[in-house]
Amino acid sequence: MENSPAVFAGTVFVLFGAGLLLWTGARVLHRAPVALGVRPKAAITLTTLSGVVFLALGLWCFGRM
């Protein structure tokens, strides 16, 4: 019962982080802008870093169980 919030939060963070990394990778491979009005290298760096942080946060939630 007490693990339910950790499972839910971990699942959400892992899915969002993985989705963000996949989306960023697809945009980069197609040479499409990741974010409009932002320098490409800055947008790629920020979204990749955010995706990794969300994945790590999700794994941390799973590790707390």
| DSSP letters spanning 14-65 | HHHHHHHHHHHHHHHHTT--SSTTS-HHHHHHHHHHHHHHHHHHHHHHHHT-
Q: Which domain holds residue 39?
A: 4-63
Number of domains in the chain: 1
The whole model's pTM is what? 0.86
Question: Which pLDDT value is given to residue 64?
Answer: 79
Give the tens place of pLDDT for each residue, 6-55: 899 999 999 999 999 999 999 999 999 999 999 999 999 999 999 999 99
Q: What is the pLDDT of residue 2?
A: 73
Q: How confident is the model at residue 1 (pLDDT cuts 50, 70, 90)?
A: low
